[in-house]
Structure 1
Amino acid sequence: MAEDAVNLEFADARRIELLEHLDRLSNGQLFSPELWAFLWLGDIEKLHDWVAEAENNAQVTFVYLEAMIKQSNIVQTWMQRATSLADSVASTATLPTSSQTLPSTPPSDGRSRSKEAAELCRERDEMKCVITQSGPPTEAVHIFPFAMRHLQSPISMQNFYNPWRVLRLFWNERRVDSWYQAVADPGTETVQNLLCLAPNTREYHERAYFALRPVRMDKQKQTLVVQFYWLPWINNPSSISLSTRPSIPSSSYSRADRAGHFVKLFNVMGDYKISSGDEITMETADLERLPLPDLALLDLQWILHRVVALSGGAEPVEVPYDENKDIDYYGV
């Protein structure tokens, strides 16, 4: 079933048991949808750690986790709705640092979008939207948002509420390191961080109307397969019990918002509606110049887009113009 992969974590018996235990330790307290989503999608070993912390001091544990998510603006930043967050992170580097270790790879500057990387992305994807196969106009779109390009700088990494620190609270070091290294050293302006999308498809992806699940890449790194999943608007309350089991009812062929507006996507070559669970294959004939999208970045996108959907952030909003927003000015 199409819903199996998008809800995979929520069917894990051990995870359900741990979240029910956390709920009891909190005496049934209600928490933000963001914390709830992070705990349900986080790694099991990290969830074990937080249960142990809560058994020692539940109040401090829950206050700390809520504060880290709220102060980091991680969900809003991922959705590119936190204006100049990177600048504010960089300006508050005197806050206390976490004891958790951080990779030492120095980030590149990446202050401006790369026209060269965008052109290479379109060359790799043959000027076509990788989702719909439609031709120009198409745009080279970031997987890891351009608006987050400064968060890997040394001064930003010292900030207590840097979003990377929040990710380390819920996912293991190896996994977060793979995400971090994919953007820290090369920066955001690489072909591996870009997808060629049609303008409307780009908007849907940036608003987390759908997510791409990385499935496999061949050993030669010439073929990449991802799965497409619609992420619907979920009518969750503003506060929620940790034991409440999430469900992402992924519609087969469309996505509706709270106002009942529907969107669909069509594969123009096969003349069919794109549905949840559909596999999309990307290929390259030039590994050096035209590498495929990075699996680690797609993995991060797959997780955080679902966090956004569960926490109610995947809705249309009127956002003032912001130069940080991931708009490709080199579209053709």
Structure 2
Amino acid sequence: MASADNSNRRKAAIPSPAGELREPKRHGLIAQLVCAAKLTKLDSITWACLWFADLSNLESLVSSCGLNSPHGFMVHRSLSKSEDKTQVIDAWAVSRPKEELEKAYEDEESDTEGPPIKKRRLTLNTEESPSPEEEAATHLANRLCTERDNATCVVTGCRDPVEIAHILPNGLGRMESQVLQNFWFPLHRFWSQERDRRSLEVQFYWLPVYNYRSRIPATEVPSRMSRKLSGTTVDGKETMLFNIATDKKLCSGDILTFKTNDPNSHPLPSMELLDMQWVLDRVLALSGATYATDEELYPDFSSNEGSFWNSEEDF
């Protein structure tokens, strides 16, 4: 058993889940960018994207706003509140497939009096039915994942119930091609393309809950994300995870290990996709869009329920 001193040193060595927020160069680039783009307010989604964007992309945006640059207007427009960035984060917040969401909404509406709760229209109304080939590929991937991890949850050590977690939200894989293009294109402004074998260690973090804001001071510096969280709040209730093998609660900084006996037939999770997931999960958390209502995210269309997503002209 490790000594208390060693244990304390390990806890102190836990890296911040958002080290980008403390980078002086990032602070300077964001200040230059919003000044050059003549923006004093941003929505919290755009604001969060800037704080987790690749520095090289921020530098390019600043250069595009340079003196006499013809691209300054385009940068200003891309940093203004837009439907494409909102759709990206709104879609990323949805992890369950269409059928499960529709059933959940039916159950919630039957048990709830008063105004209906938020619905994720982007997922419910723009999905295509999977082809037989896609269904077969999904079934194969699920089977290989189950076999690789011995039907055991890597996080909790439980064998039942176990749900296979998709790195890329399930609903995104079923979206119409034009909607998928609208999902990927905004990411290129903030992250480089390249961000897109027997064991793999990943570090687990609980992320804090923030409120969505439609207008936020463009130069506001985010508060630091705690590196010592041991749970979160879901629907107003404290939530924790426990590992049954260690009989300990899962805390920020804990290491999770994926293993495989055959990296060719049962590959480990893609590092590129995990990296993308890590960035977008933090953008989602910092932006506060996780629990934002459709009325908050799409105020111009809240009075026309459903019509926004049903027309190709809207994309």
Same fold (TM over 0.5): yes
Aligned to 2:256: 280
Q: Is 1:266–1:272's contact at 8 Å kept on the other side of the alignment?
A: yes
1:252 aligns with 2:263: no
What letter is aligned with 1:256? T
What pairs with 1:223-234 in structure 2 (closer than 5 Å)? 223-234=199-210
Q: Given the two structures, how large is their TM-score scaled by the length of structure 1?
A: 0.67
| 2:238 paired with 1:238 | no
Among 14, 18, 37, the residue aligned to 2:29: 18
Aligned with residue 291 of structure 1, among 247, 252, 267: 267
Cα distance in 1 for residues equivalent to 2:79 and 2:173? 24
Instruction: Provide the secondary structure at the position in 2 that maps to 1:73.
Output: helix
User: Is the 8 Å Cα contact of residues 284 and 292 (structure 1) preserved in structure 2?
Assistant: yes
Q: Does 1:268 align with 2:261?
A: no
- Uncovered stretches (5+) of structure 2, i.e. residues with no partner: 1-11, 95-118, 295-315
| Percent identity (aligned) | 29
How far off is 1:240 after superposition? 1.5
Assess if the C-alpha contact under 8 Å between 2:15 and 2:227 holds in 1.
no
* Correspondences of 1:309-320 after superposition (within 5 Å): 309-315=285-291
CA contact (8 A) 2:228 2:253 kept: no
The Cα offsets for residues 60-86 of structure 1, whole Å up to 9 and x where unpaired, read as 422233355546600011112643559
8 Å contact 1:234–1:248 — kept in the other structure? no
Q: CA deviation at 1:287?
A: 1.7
Q: CA deviation at 1:126?
A: 1.2
Q: 2:173 aligns with which of 124, 149, 153?
A: 149
Matches of 1:58 and 1:281 in 2, distance apart? 46
1:74 to 66, 84, 88: 88
Partner of 1:201: none
1:130 corresponds to 2:107: no
Bigger mean CA deviation after superposition, 259-268 or 34-43: 259-268
SS at 2:210 equivalent: coil
What is the alpha-carbon distance in structure 2 between the residues aligned to residue 288 and residue 152 of structure 1? 31
Residue pair 1:23, 1:241 contacting (<8 A) in 2 also: no
Counterpart residue number, 2:191: 171
> 2:65 is paired with a residue of what secondary structure?
helix
> Which of 51, 55, 58 is the aligned partner of 1:47?
58
The residue type equivalent to 1:25 in the other structure is: A
Contact 1:3–1:248 (CA under 8 A) maintained in structure 2: no
Q: What is the 5 A alignment of 1:76-225? A: 76-80=90-94, 82-84=120-122, 88=126, 110=134, 114-150=138-174, 153=177, 159=181, 162-175=182-195, 179=196, 221-225=197-201
Match of 1:38 among 29, 49, 56: 49
CA displacement at 1:152 relative to structure 2:
8.6
SS in 2 for 1:23: helix
Q: Take 2:230 and 2:258, find their aligned partners in 1: how far apart are those partners?
A: 21
Q: Relative to total residues, which structure has the larger helix share, 1 or 2?
A: 2
Alignment-mate amino acid for residue 144 of structure 1: L
Opposite residue 298 of structure 1, the aligned amino acid is L
Contact 1:30–1:242 (Cα < 8 Å) also in 2:
yes
Aligned length: 252
2:92 maps to amino acid = W
Q: CA deviation at 1:151?
A: 5.5
1:164 and 1:272 map into 2 onto residues whose CA distance is 39
Q: AA paired with 1:141?
A: A
Aligned partners of 1:232 and 1:250 also within 8 Å: no
Deviation at 1:111, TM superposition (A): 5.6
Q: 1:35·1:69 contact (CA, 8 Å) conserved in 2?
A: no
Q: Which amino acid aligns with 1:253?
A: S
Unaligned runs of 5+ in 1: 91-107, 180-220, 319-332
How far apart in 1 are the matches of 2:133 and 2:192?
27
Q: Distance in 1 between matches of 2:293 and 2:161?
A: 24
1:317 & 1:266 partners in 2: Cα distance?
31
- Residue by residue over 1:208-245, the C-alpha shift from the partner in whole angstroms, topping out at 9 and shown as x without a partner, is xxxxxxxxxxxxx0000000000111246432223222
Question: Paired residue for 1:184?
Answer: none
Structure 1: distance between partners of 2:236 and 2:85:
32
Contact between 1:254 and 1:263, CA under 8 Å: does it hold in 2?
yes
* Cα distance change, pair 233–72 in 1 and its aligned pair in 2 (3 A): closer
- Larger-Rg structure: 2
Amino acid at match of 1:249: S
Cα distance change of structure 1 residues 47 and 226 upon mapping to structure 2, 3 Å threshold: same
SS in structure 1 at match of 2:246: coil
In the TM superposition, what is the alpha-carbon distance from 1:26 to its structure 2 partner? 4.7
Residue of structure 1 in register with 2:5 after alignment: none
More strand by share: 1
